[in-house]
Structure 1
Amino acid sequence: MAGALTPPGVMARHDRAPSDAIAASHLRRVLIIMPQLLGDAVLSSVLISALQDMIPDSRIDILVHRPLAELFMHNPAIAAVHTVERDWRKKGLWRTAGPRWALIRALHARHYDLLIQSPHTTDGSWGPALKALLGIPYAVGASPATHGSPLKRFMWRRLFTHTLPSPPDPNHRHVAEWHLDLLRRLGLNPSPAARRATIEPGPAARARIDALLASRHIPQRGFVLFAPLAGQRGRTLPASLCRDFLDHCEDRGLTVVIVSGHEAWQQTFAHALAQGRGDRMVDLAGTLTLAELAALASAARVFVGADSGPMHIAAAMGLPVIACFGPGDHHRFHPWQTRQSLILAHRSCQPCELDGCGNSGHADCLHDIQSRTLLDAFQAFEASSEPIASARTY
C-alpha cells in the first residue's frame, strides 16, 4: 500500500527529523534577523557557516543593526547586508516610516524562502511583520513563550511555521547551539566542522591594523590583546586585578595592546591603566572600529579580559581566550570553539546576569578573583602549546 503523500517542501519523516522538516531545496533564499548586542550577533553568525555548508547554493541575507554591519559585509557567504538604526524604536513608527518602507521594499525584491529570527533579538516584532509583509513561506524562531507581550506571543504562534520549545530554567545551553537549534528544528543538522562563528573585518581594516602594528614595531602574533572592560561596569575587571596583570607583563617584557569601547568612562578606565607604563603598553582604548578590533584580534597571540563583545570577536577570529566571568553566564556565553580558560569565583548567586550586585555596577564575584589565579592561567598558556582547559573555576 502506498504511503501518504508529503506536502510540497516538507521532507518525508525519518527517525531523526521533525515531522514538519523542510527539504533543503526549498530553502535557498534565506533572511536572518540578527541580535542587537555585539556578542550575541557574533555567536548568531554560526547560522551563516552552517547554512553555507548544508546548502552551498543558498543565498543568505542578514538584517542587522547598523553599528554591527561592518563585521559581516565582507563575509563572502553573505549575499546582502540590510540594516536598521538603533534609534528607530525611540523615534517611533511615524517618524521612521520612510526608511522602514524603503527597507521593506528592498527585502521584498529578494523573494525569500525562509526567515530565521535569532532567539536573542530584543524586538520580537520584526520577524512576524516581515513574514506577513513579504509573504515568506517558512519562518523559524524561539518559543512564543519567551516573549512577555501577549500580542507578540500571538503573532509568533500565528505567523511562524516553526518555533523552538520553551527553554528549561535554568538554561545552560550555549547560545551558539541555541541558534543552531533553529536549523535542527527545520530538519537540518549542521556538522561539527560547520558550527563556527564567522565574521570578517575586510581588507581595509586589516591594512589599517597592519600599518598600525608596523608603526609601533609590533610583530604579528607578538602581543597580548587586553580588553578588561565590558559594556556594563558590573562586568568590567577590577582595576587592581588589571594592574597586577599589566605589572606581570611588564616584568616579562611582553607587549600588551589595551582596547575598550567608545564610552567616556571606558576610555578613562583604560587610559588610567596604561598611564605611566612603557612603550610595550599600547593604549588603543576607544580608537578602533569593530572591524579593526577583529583585524587586531587576528594578529594577536592571546586575548585576556572580561566577559564581553570583544571576547567573542577574539574567539571568532580564532584567538585563544583567557576570560574572567562574573555576573554573566559562562555556560551559555563562554568563548565559542577556541582554546580557552575561564576564571570565575565560587558564589551561589552566579550567574545573575545583572550589572553587578543589585545592578550597582560593582560585582563581588569579580572582586573575589585573585590576581594569582589570572596569572597562573596566563602562565599556563605561555608554558604550553596544548589546548588550555575548557573551563577553570576557583
Structure 2
Amino acid sequence: MKTVLNAKKILLIKLRHHGDVLLSTPVASALKTAAPDCRIDLLLYKETRPIVEHNPDYTRIWTIDRSRKGLKRLLDLAALATRLRRERYDLIVHLSDQSLGALLTRWSRPRRAIGFDYPKRRNSTWARCFDALAPVADSDSLHTVEQNLLALSPLGLDVPVAAKRCKMAYSEQDRLTVQAKLHALGVTTPYIAVHPASRWFFKCWEDERFAAVVQALADKGWHVVLTAAPVAQEEALVRSILDRVDSERVHSLAGQLTLTSLAALIDGARLFIGVDSVPMHMAAALGRDTVALFGPSKVNEWRPWMTRHTLIHAADYGPLIDPDAVDTGTSERYLSNIPVDAVLDAAQALLAAEEPAR
C-alpha cells in the first residue's frame, strides 16, 4: 500500500559542503514523487547555493552566511529563526549533524521533525529537537545518497529508483557561455573534460601522470578541456599539467567558469576524468561517463552515483593510508600508486562504448 505524505510545506536542512548538498537532492526528488504538489524549501550555507539554485524541486532557498561573524552573525541567525517559524512548516528534515540545524528545527515548531540518530548526538538536547530519528549506517557501508534517503524512513515512503538520482541543473545562459568559450578555443568536435584538482590536495594525482593521460588522449584526436576552481592553488596545478603537454587539442578553462557553467561544460563532454571532488559528483548527476581516481576516501560512500563509470582506487595498486588517519590540511598527495595505463585503459573503454543518452 502506498504511503500518503501528509505535508504541504517542507523544509530540508543541509549545512555541509557543495558535494554533500548535491548528494542530498534525491531526498527532495523522493518527497516530490510522493507528494507532487508539496512545497520544498532548503536551508544551506550561502556558498553552496549555486549547486542547487536551478533545481526545480526547491521553491525557496534559505542561506546562512558563514563569512558574517560576531554580533552580525547572531542577528542574522535570529532573523532567520523568526522567518522560519513564520513559515509554519509541516515537516522539517535535518540531513546533517550540526547542532545549529537542530536548534533551528526546534525553534521553527514544525508539525513533524526528523533528524538522524548520530551516535555523537545521543543526548536529550538533540532528541528534543525531533519527534523521529532516522538510522545512521555504519561507516562506508552505504553510499551518501542512500544514507540521506534513510531520513525518510520514519515516513514509510517507497522511493522509486528514478527518484534516487542526483539532480544538477544549470541555466540556458550557462550553456551559451560555455558554447562561446569552446568556440573561442576552437573546440567544435566532441571533447573530454578533465578536472584534476580537489580543494583537498591529498585527493589529487601527480601532475606528470595527468599530463601523460591528457597527452595520450589528445594524440588520439580528442580535444581535452582542463578545468579548475578560481583558486590560485588549483589554477597552478592545471598550469603545471599544461607545461608538460604539447598539443593544440589541449585547452584550459581553469578559473574561468562558475559552478553552474562548469556543469554545462561537463554535460556537453563525451567523458569526464577527475578525482574525488564536487565536479566528479556533478558528472555523475549529469549522467556522463566518468573515470574517477580515488585515494584515501571512503569509496562506498563517495563513489560516482548512478552513472556508468570506472573507479580507480589507489589502494588496489599498493599500500594506502586509512581515510580516517588523513590530515586533510596536508599538501601530500596519496594517489601515486595509480599507474597511467590504468586511467588510459579505463578512458578508452568508456569512449569505445555507446554514448549514454542525453
Q: What TM-score, normalized by structure 2, do the two folds share?
A: 0.91
SS in 1 for 2:43: strand
Give the alignment partner of residue 157 of structure 1, picking from 120, 127, 132: 127
Whichever residue aligns with residue 337 of structure 2, its letter is D
In the alignment, what sits opposite 1:127?
101
Whichever residue aligns with residue 257 of structure 1, its letter is V
SS in 2 for 1:230: coil
SS in 2 for 1:367: coil
Gaps of 5+ in 1: 1-13, 388-394
Give the alignment partner of residue 64 of structure 1, picking from 38, 44, 47: 44
Equivalent residues of 2:4, 2:34 under 8 A apart: no
SS in 2 for 1:78: coil
In the alignment, what sits opposite 1:24?
5
Alignment CA distance shift 1:278-1:71 (3 Å)? same
Determine the C-alpha separation between the residues in 2 that align with 1:349 and 1:315. 25
Structure 1 residue 212: Cα displacement: 1.6
Alignment CA distance shift 1:256-1:184 (3 Å)? same
In the alignment, what sits opposite 1:337?
306
Of 198-207 and 291-300, the range deviating more from structure 2:
198-207
In the alignment, what sits opposite 1:274?
242
Whichever residue aligns with residue 150 of structure 2, its letter is D
**RMSD of aligned alpha carbons:** 2.3
Determine the C-alpha separation between the residues in 2 that align with 1:363 and 1:217. 33
Determine the C-alpha separation between the residues in 2 that align with 1:160 and 1:372. 51
Determine the C-alpha separation between the residues in 1 that align with 2:226 and 2:284. 17
Determine the C-alpha separation between the residues in 2 that align with 1:61 and 1:334. 27
Q: Structure 1: which 4+ aligned runs deviate by more than 6 Å?
A: none
Alignment CA distance shift 1:240-1:355 (3 Å)? farther
Determine the C-alpha separation between the residues in 2 that align with 1:350 and 1:61. 40
Give the alignment partner of residue 361 of structure 1, picking from 327, 331, 336: 331
Give the alignment partner of residue 84 of structure 2, picking from 91, 99, 107: 107
Determine the C-alpha separation between the residues in 2 that align with 1:293 and 1:178. 27
Determine the C-alpha separation between the residues in 2 that align with 1:286 and 1:355. 27
2:226 is aligned with 1:258: yes
Determine the C-alpha separation between the residues in 2 that align with 1:146 and 1:201. 37
Alignment CA distance shift 1:351-1:190 (3 Å)? farther
Whichever residue aligns with residue 159 of structure 2, its letter is P
Of 320-329 and 101-110, the range deviating more from structure 2:
101-110
Determine the C-alpha separation between the residues in 2 that align with 1:353 and 1:233. 16
Determine the C-alpha separation between the residues in 1 that align with 2:136 and 2:23. 20
In the alignment, what sits opposite 2:25?
45
Equivalent residues of 2:137, 2:147 under 8 A apart: no
Equivalent residues of 1:322, 1:378 under 8 A apart: yes
In the alignment, what sits opposite 1:302?
271
Structure 1 residue 349: Cα displacement: 4.9
Larger Rg: 1
**Mapping of 1:372-387 within 5 angstroms?**
372-385=341-354
Gaps of 5+ in 2: none
Equivalent residues of 1:61, 1:79 under 8 A apart: yes
Structure 1 residue 352: Cα displacement: 1.2
Structure 1 residue 210: Cα displacement: 2.1
CA distances 1:220-269 after superposition (whole Å, capped 9, x unpaired): 7x111101111111101111220110120121121111111222111111
Structure 1 residue 350: Cα displacement: 5.8
2:184 is aligned with 1:184: no
**Mapping of 1:201-220 within 5 angstroms?**
201-219=170-188
Alignment CA distance shift 1:136-1:33 (3 Å)? same
Determine the C-alpha separation between the residues in 1 that align with 2:325 and 2:230. 22
Equivalent residues of 1:39, 1:312 under 8 A apart: yes
Identical aligned pairs, as a percentage? 29
